[in-house]
């Protein structure tokens, strides 16, 4: 008979999911930065890469808190979002709308991460994992700030450049 799955199991599985996602994002961001035509967008991607490295370190600490080895579990959602980004880089290479597409793909990633971290924080609080909750809240704040930065770039630079061409 199979073991009854608990909120603790779900927390751990979702933690593995976001761990996998963050590792994949770390490998995608340099490619996105290289493809970006706007210096501002390139800088935003490079800054987020540095933040993502710190986010993975915080996830390592959360795994430690729950007595588990940091390990990812394939996340089909992030793979699909990243595949869309690759498609944009390929189909819009050199085009005026490339940066707008890259930015949109990056925001899809951010929104996925914001959703996951919000859920994990709620569950960490429910499970009495105070330090995990604190670490996850730090990451959520960074993800929200990155999303706001990207929105600002879309409104002030990237979309108007794509439209003007």
Q: For 7-164, which CATH class?
A: mainly alpha
Residue 40 buriedness (CB in 10 A; 0-12 / 13-18 / 19+):
middle
Nearest CA-CA partner of 154 in 95, 89, 91, 97: 97
The model's confidence at residue 165, banded by pLDDT at 50, 70 and 90, is: low
162 vs 165: CA distance, rounded Å? 6
Backbone dihedral angles phi then psi of residue 70, each to the nearest 5 degrees: -60, 120
Q: What is the pLDDT of residues 137-147, one digit of tens each?
A: 999 999 999 99
pTM for the full model? 0.93
Whether pLDDT at 25 is above 70: yes
Q: What is the pLDDT of residues 47-99, one digit of tens each?
A: 999 999 999 999 999 999 999 999 999 999 999 999 999 999 999 998 889 99
Q: What is the DSSP secondary-structure string of the chain?
A: -PPPP-HHHHHHHHHHHHHHHHHHHHHHHHHHHHH--SHHHHHHHHHHHHHHHHHHHHHHHHHHHTT--------HHHHHHHHHHHHHHHHTTTSTTHHHHHHHHHHHHHHHHHHHHHHHHHHHHHTT-HHHHHHHHHHHHHHHHHHHHHHHHIIIIIHHHHHH-
Model pLDDT, residue 29:
95
| Mean pLDDT value across residues 101-130 | 97
Nearest CA-CA partner of 139 in 123, 117, 109, 124: 117
Q: For the chain, what are the domain ranges?
A: 7-164
Residue 1 contacts by C-beta under 8 Å, 6 or more apart in sequence?
A: none
């Amino acid at each position: 008979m199979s073991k009854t799955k608990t909120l603790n199991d779900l927390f751990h599985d979702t933690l593995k999911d976001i761990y996998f996602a963050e590792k994949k994002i770390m490998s995608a961001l340099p490619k996105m930065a290289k493809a970006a035509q706007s210096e501002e967008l390139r800088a935003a991607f490079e800054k987020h890469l540095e933040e993502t490295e710190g986010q993975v370190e915080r996830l390592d600490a959360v795994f430690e808190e729950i007595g588990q080895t940091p390990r990812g579990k394939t996340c089909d959602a992030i793979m699909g979002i990243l595949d869309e980004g690759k498609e944009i880089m390929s189909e819009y290479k050199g085009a005026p709308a490339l940066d707008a597409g890259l930015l949109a793909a990056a925001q899809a990633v951010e929104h996925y991460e914001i959703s996951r971290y919000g859920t994990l924080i709620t569950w960490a609080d429910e499970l009495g994992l105070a330090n995990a909750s604190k670490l996850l809240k730090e990451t959520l704040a960074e993800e929200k700030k990155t999303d706001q930065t990207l929105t600002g770039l879309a409104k002030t630079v990237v979309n108007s450049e794509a439209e003007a061409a």
